[in-house]
A and B are shown apart, each in its own frame.
Chain A
């Protein structure tokens, strides 16, 4: 579904640098995302992946440079933009005392575009027990719930920070298939950070590799494979000289 995006820009980062004291978390980052795609964001722990994603949604502001999201300065995102963004973090601080059902009801109230049929489908497909208080759910189930909360309003921009880390391989496979389904039916950008390169390799069409706060590679996955004759795991080792 194309929701009539007037601008063609999902993310524009111009020369973004972020310092925390002496630590340079993002180092002159330039990034353009202008068309629907699934972007795999890879990098070692502490390389700047999460900081980069936080800048996109304005949770952190650049020390210098500018970041625009869906055409708006990321520090001033408001309802028109936020209603088109979905975010799931590895450890989302969900409201622990609520049942999943209550939390879903609460979150869905914020969105005009909330898709109740999709919600039911995902609850069934990912086997989420909606009567369980969120605080007592396993990390894997919480992660599935975060994903559901991030996609049911049909976002144009979906940011997933290690969304698969707590899931077993079979569930991961199902979740990845669901994400592909979302991508097939909505014109959207999915930015997906993960150490699970095999899963990422299945669905990403573009790879952005971050190392020490710098983007060291930003290219279509197919081009990287053609240029290096290597799979993503091997590419990653070559790019940052380490294991994922």
Chain B
């Protein structure tokens, strides 16, 4: 799991948010599928070297979002997602990370055509690489 989650404890973003964000991405991308176990609060807090309360806070949020399921005495598991819900999650995550790029394009006066061309080029470079 430590290769799935990396946190920067000295960032201005609370560690629990970093954990939530990364697990969301792993679930949306399918890297963590329905029924997969999430490591316990104790294990993850040990792995990451952070306060266990930080980890349990992250888990509570994920549970509230319906992404994971708590089972008494057992590790959390990833809940099954309906295909359309999973699609929505994925686009929502991409949208969130594109927001800054959109603002930057406008601030720099880059046209929509230029910006989309750039995005297309970067995507295809990524596929080739």
Q: Mark A204-244, 1 if CB is under 8 A from B, else 0.
A: 11000000000000000110011011111110000000000
Instruction: Give CA–CA (A233, B9) in the complex, Å.
Output: 12
Which of A184, A225, A233 lies in contact with B52, CB distance below 8 A?
Answer: A184
Q: Which residues of B contact A121 (CB under 8 A)?
A: none
Question: Nearest 4 CB-CB pairs, A to B?
Answer: A222-B14, A202-B9, A230-B12, A225-B14
B residues in contact with A173, CB < 8 Å: 49
Q: Does chain A have a CB within 8 A of B126? A: no
The reply to whether B10 and A201 contact each other, CB–CB distance below 8 Å, is yes
The segment from A58-66, A108-116, A175-183 found at the interface with B is: A175-183
Complex contact A234–B12 (CB within 8 A)? yes
A188 at the interface (CB under 8 A from B): no
- Contact assessment for B12 and A231 in the assembled complex, using a CB-CB cutoff below 8 Å: yes
In the assembled complex, how far is the CB of residue A93 from the closest CB belonging to chain B, in whole angstroms?
31
Interface: A198 (CB within 8 A): yes
- A180, B12: Cβ atoms closer than 8 Å: no
* B59 CB contacts on chain A under 8 angstroms: none
In the complex, A225 Cα to B42 Cα: how many Å? 24
Q: Answer yes or no: B50 CB below 8 A from chain A CBs.
A: yes
Within B38-66, the residues touching A (CB, 8 Å) are 42, 45-46, 49-54, 57
Q: Chain A residues near B42 (CB, 8 Å)?
A: 184
- A181–B10 alpha-carbon span in the complex (Å): 20
Q: Point out the residue from B10, B12, B57 that lies within 8 Å of A198, measured CB to CB.
A: B10
What separation, in Å, do the CA atoms of A204 and B54 have in the docked complex? 9
Q: A201-B9, A222-B57 are in contact. Are A183 and B14 (CB under 8 A)?
A: no
Asked whether any CB of chain A lies closer than 8 Å to the CB of B13, the reply is yes
Report if A31 contacts B (CB, 8 A): no
**A233 with B14: CB separation less than 8 A:** no
